[in-house]
């Protein structure tokens, strides 16, 4: 996984945004971050972003479908951000956990990513799945950072903005 991670920077140099580790709409990304922060004001803010997203989507799809898609978009944003924290950006997360907010985000990301991991794969012992996932994430993230330093670029660690 480390070696695989080292290929991210050369790929990003060749293909740019096409290999971004995540693609996030700014408003949905911010809403996802507020959920990971687990602050009291997160739910009203997320509701506002959800309603705004519904309104925008309702121009092209039925309202019920717009509501469903807006909800799925929020879930996707939280999952992508969680994956970034525990996989691509874990070296930064280890620094951030020295702060209260950093610990909140890191813990939220681990909880979300662990829940996703446990619901995705069947057949292995849950503890083995979680342990394997964390080891894989650490190795891949270290490879991405190593490759990025070798290439002298942060493109493999940078988000792509969606509409």
Can you tell me the mean pLDDT for 52-56?
94
pLDDT of residue 72: 95
Instruction: Output the pTM of the full model.
Output: 0.86
Q: Is the Cα torsion angle 151, 156, 159, 163 positive or negative in sign?
A: positive
Cβ-contact 74, 50 below 8 angstroms: yes
Collapsed DSSP state (helix, strand, coil) of residue 160: strand
pLDDT in tens, 61-117: 999 999 999 999 999 999 999 999 999 999 999 999 999 999 999 999 999 999 988
b/e sequence 28-63, b meaning 16+ C-beta within 10 Å: bbbbbbbbbeeeeebeebbeebbeebbeebbeeeee
**Residue where the block lists tokens 């490759």:** 147
pLDDT in tens, 109-148: 999 999 988 887 677 788 888 899 999 999 999 999 999 9
């Amino acid at each position: 996984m480390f070696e695989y991670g080292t290929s991210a920077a050369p790929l990003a140099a060749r293909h740019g945004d096409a290999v971004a580790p995540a693609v996030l709409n700014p408003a949905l990304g911010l809403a996802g971050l507020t959920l990971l922060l687990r602050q009291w004001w997160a739910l009203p803010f997320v509701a506002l972003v959800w309603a705004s997203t519904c309104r925008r989507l309702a121009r092209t799809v039925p309202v019920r479908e717009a509501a469903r898609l807006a909800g799925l978009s929020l879930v996707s944003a939280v999952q992508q951000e969680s994956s970034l924290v525990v996989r691509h950006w874990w070296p930064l997360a280890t620094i951030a956990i020295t702060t209260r907010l950093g610990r909140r985000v890191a813990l939220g990301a681990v909880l979300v990513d662990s829940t996703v991991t446990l619901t995705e794969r069947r057949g292995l012992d849950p503890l083995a799945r979680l342990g394997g996932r964390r080891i894989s994430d650490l190795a891949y993230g270290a490879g991405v950072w190593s490759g990025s330093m070798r290439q002298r670029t942060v493109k493999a660690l940078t988000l792509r903005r969606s509409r």
